[in-house]
Amino acid sequence: MTNLDELGFRQAQSFALEQMLTVYSTSGDLRWALIALMARSVSAAWSFGRARVVKRISEAVRRLAPASPLQSPIGRECHYC
Domain boundaries along the sequence of the chain: 4-64
Q: What tens digit of pLDDT does each residue of 1-41 get?
A: 455 555 566 677 777 777 766 665 556 677 777 787 788 88
For the cut 60, the answer to whether the pLDDT of residue 42 exceeds it is yes
Contact 40, 23 (CB under 8 A): no
CA distance 16 to 74: 55
Q: Which pLDDT score is estimated for 61?
A: 87
Tens of pLDDT, residues 49-71: 998 999 999 998 888 876 665 55
- Phi/psi of residue 35, nearest 5 degrees: -65, -45
pLDDT at 57: 92
Element (H, E) at 57: helix 30-64
Question: Please, how many CA atoms are within 13 Å of residue 53, restricted to the half-sphere of its CB?
Answer: 6
